[in-house]
Amino acid sequence: MAGDVIGRESELAVLDRFLDSIPSGPSAVLLSGDPGIGKTTVWQEGLAGALQRRYRTLSCRPVEAETRLSYAALGDLLEPVLEEALPAVPEPQRRALEVALLRSPSSGARADQRAVSLAVLGCLRSVASTSPVVLAIDDVQWMDLPSVRVLQFVVRRLKDEQVGSMTAARGARADDDPLGVVSTFAEDRVHAVHVGPLSQDALEQVLRAKVGEGFSRTTLLSLHEMSGGNPFFAREIGLALLRRGGDVTAGERLPIPDRLQELIEDRLGGLPARTVEALEVVSALSAPTFDAIAAATDPSEVDRRLGPAIENSVVEFVGDRLRFTHPLLASAVYQKIPLTRRRELHARLATIVRDPEERARHLALSVEGPDIAVAAALEEAAPLASSRGAPQSAAELWEMACRATPRDRGEDLVRRTHQAGIAHYESGDTSLARSVLEQAVDLSMAGPARGRVLLDLGMGLAETEGWRGAWAVFEAARGEAGDDLALRARVEQNLGYAWLFRGDLAASERHARAALQLAEELQEPQVMAEAFQAYPFVEFLLGRGVDQASSNPTSSVQASLWRSS
């Protein structure tokens, strides 16, 4: 490891052991620490050590604005190796990954998250077959949930591959483990490192190196105490002191009434107003490229506006994107925007960004209270997120659409609440899904609309709590189905399963046969296929064997009905 990192000898020693262990199989290091404590510096040293060993490094540094953008982190991680690794992935998985990462348009079919996960696993195995690989994620707490779910899937399936995971998380817990490595890798191959406060001597070295000025012993003691040994906080306080003229006098308090907020405000206070206005745009964008910032401000002035922020290390360019040097700065800038002007900013950004999901989010933040157009935009964006295999994002968009729906738009509200519940189930949040679907039941009018919600609620209950508990919900759905043959067929089919697990085979047969009769009357292929799947199963359990007379669903339905009549 490099020798220019101050006061982190023990942390760097752990990183050396971690890196040396990767060629013999999966390993992980979990870095954690308070904002500004130096975990990113340690993380960067880990990356440097991997490069010195000629390992392949796949890294990303998500920010708070990207937490709602499906697969943003995954795309950053895989970008360096996609061209070489994708050819080794089976075509269905490759297509799903390309759709999820917006490299290919969706053909209408939804990108299944499992297919995306398998594609990522295949890419990683392909790269790791030729060289050790380090997956490095800084500020992992800002990682979008779809990316997290995919990487959890990948981690659980690593066996002997030369893959190391290095994450850095904000917080006090040294065992923060979003990717699930602790429960997957061998105990001696997971290293939890909490990056704590620097000692007073180490902090003084940092201040001399970063600020370039020495302070009196009294001031250094105060800096160490007020910063809690946090080098970022101490550096910013030191710079604020220099702007005021240097050391504090005896008994004088450091200029930080609120250790965090006042620190950030002091840092930003010296910037010109036009620079702060440009930074507001940066703080509100999830992907603040130069072109997007220019479009939202003044293209002829954007360089001069951003210049002071870059010179003072408030923001920096990484590739074609501008980002704050610390997430706290972005949050502070955004939170200080007056609410009315913040809404105006989001309305302007909604006309600039191209991604439908991001545009819908900006629209939602641009209005106060329900708005028909905004709700429609959110509803349009939700299926797009779902089609990319990101049910978590879809669920949130549906929920936002519900909040934006005027109360007098009853059918819209029921539909969006219904879809939100389904998306929550697909994302694995079964408790919230049940609550949302029950809310949709309460909102819906009596009849088939309520029956469809009850059907999905029952299917969710059957999956999570068992068919016995779902029986009453299916019975309620049956009472609401009315003349909707497709709904009635699906309800009868599920009642067949429910009675089966309640131990009444005769009742199960009656409902399964009713589903077949309705499917035959409807002549809708999917409904027929579902009904045809259930009835022979019950027949077999009743000891009547398996009907192999025909593989044609229609004739098989007819034969089964004839034999039972």
Q: Could you report the per-residue pLDDT of 365-424, keeping only the tens digit for each? A: 999 889 999 999 999 999 999 998 888 889 989 999 999 999 999 999 999 999 999 998
Specify the DSSP class assigned to residue 289. Answer: B
Please tell me the predicted confidence (pLDDT) of residue 559: 36
- Cα–Cα distance measured from residue 427 to residue 209, given in angstroms and rounded to the nearest whole number: 47
Q: What are the residue ranges in the chain where pLDDT is below 50?
A: 2, 250-251, 253, 255-259, 549-565
Bridge partners, 191 (sequence order)? 29
Alpha-helical (H) ranges within 182-301 are 200-210, 217-227, 231-244, 261-269, 273-284, 290-296
Tokens representing 250 are: 């005896």
Q: What is the pLDDT, as a whole number, of residue 451?
A: 93
- Which residues, listed in sequence order, are joined to residue 324 by a DSSP beta bridge? 315
Q: 70-128 pLDDT, tens per residue?
A: 999 999 999 999 999 999 999 999 999 999 998 888 766 677 899 999 999 999 999 99
Q: In a 10 Å sphere around its CB, with 0-12 CB exposed, 13-18 middle and 19+ buried, how is residue 537 labelled? A: middle
CB 455 within 8 A of CB 419: no
CB 30 within 8 A of CB 191: yes
Alpha helices in 405-504 (DSSP H): 410-426, 430-443, 448-465, 467-480, 485-501
The per-residue pLDDT for 298 is: 85
Of residues 261, 260, 258, 220, the one with CA closest to residue 241: 220
Spatial contact of 433 and 421, defined as CB atoms under 8 Å apart: yes
Phi/psi of residue 82, nearest 5 degrees? -60, -45
* Whole-number pLDDT of residue 65: 79
| CA distance to 147, 220, 547, per residue, from 136 (Å) | 13, 34, 55
Question: Are 394 and 420 a contacting pair, CB within 8 Å?
Answer: no
Domain 9-194 has CATH 3.40.50.300: yes
Taking alpha carbons only, the member of 357, 433, 441 closest to residue 400 is: 357
Please tell me the predicted confidence (pLDDT) of residue 420.
94
Angle at 47 between CA 288 and CA 16, to 5 degrees: 155
Check residue 214 and give its pLDDT.
Answer: 66
Q: Contacts for 558-565 with beta carbons within 8 Å, 24 or more apart?
A: 558/520, 560/513, 560/516, 560/532, 560/535, 560/536, 561/513, 561/516, 561/517, 561/520, 564/509, 564/513, 564/539
Cβ atoms 353, 359 nearer than 8 A: yes
**Tokens of residue 323, six digits:** 């980002």
Structure tokens at 509: 């047969």
Sorted by sequence, the CB contacts under 8 Å of residue 352 that are 6+ apart come out as 292, 295, 296
Q: According to the model, what pLDDT value does residue 347 have? A: 94
* Contact status, residue 96 vs residue 389, Cβ threshold 8 Å: yes
Model pTM greater than 0.85? Answer: no
